[in-house]
Amino acid sequence: MSAQQIDEKKLERAIRKIKHCLALAQSANENEAATALRQAQALMREYRLTEMDVKLSDVGEVESALFRAKRRPAWDQQLSIAVADAFNCTTLRHRKWSQSKCQLIECATFVGVSPAQNIALYAYEALHTKLTHARKRYCSAVRSGVHRSQYSAETAGDHFALAWVWEVQSKLKALVPQGDDDPLDHTATGHELVAIQAQDKALISEYLASQNIRESRKSKGVELDLNAQIAGMLAGRKVELHAGIARGGEDTLALSVLA
């Protein structure tokens, strides 16, 4: 084991201790709170950490195993954007050289405050699988003449997939509690949720800045096949999302499609 690995493990333990001390510093017991705060500050000085460093340790980045050669299609990019938005994450387009494929490939990555990025990745890959199958069926129907289109079957399939994502996006947002769900609800819970979301976005932005990473740009609008749009929206409405997701919880997102 290298010295660097030992230092990293020590640093991780120190950050855990600092977080524990900062939590105790909120205690109603003034003596306990003061002692915990002093311990946290001492550890920060020892390891030359700031409060922002401690908070940034909660930000993580995960990469999808799904990839495309050179560039992912617009519907794939839009799906990752929709999922990231629903789970208060940021998605990035990651291009890299694949040794096994001997070419450039692109995949989606998700940056969020743990465990949000992992939940977003799970949702993206599960929905991607469902959408890929639905798009293939639609392309086959266009080729066989069941559905008519002025575009090629592949292009019509892309338009179908975009509409599918737009329909499912609203379901994703409804799945995750939002701070502004009820404008008349002035309870602490609603305000706290908004504050947490804002704090998470600030931490993600700080993380991206520290890594010199730019956020993905949204795709430009294109003229779509109306028939493909309608078919995609109808197919998207059949997607059922079931979950019990809370920030910091262990629940996962279950997906099923009506027959």
> Along the 259 residues of the chain, how does pLDDT read in single tens digits?
444 444 777 877 887 788 788 778 777 888 888 888 787 778 778 777 777 777 777 788 899 999 898 789 999 999 999 999 988 899 998 888 887 778 888 999 999 888 888 889 999 999 999 999 999 999 999 999 999 898 999 999 999 999 999 999 988 887 766 555 444 444 445 556 566 677 788 878 877 887 766 655 555 555 678 899 999 999 999 888 865 443 444 445 554 444 4
Tokens found for residue 248: 């910091």
Q: What are the tens digits of pLDDT across the range 61-75? A: 899 999 898 789 999
Beta-bridge mates of residue 257: 239
Query: Who's near 225: CB < 8 A, 6+ residues apart?
Result: 149, 150, 151, 155, 156, 159, 160
Q: What is the DSSP letter of 102?
A: T
Q: What are the tens digits of pLDDT across the range 223-257? A: 678 899 999 999 999 888 865 443 444 445 554 44
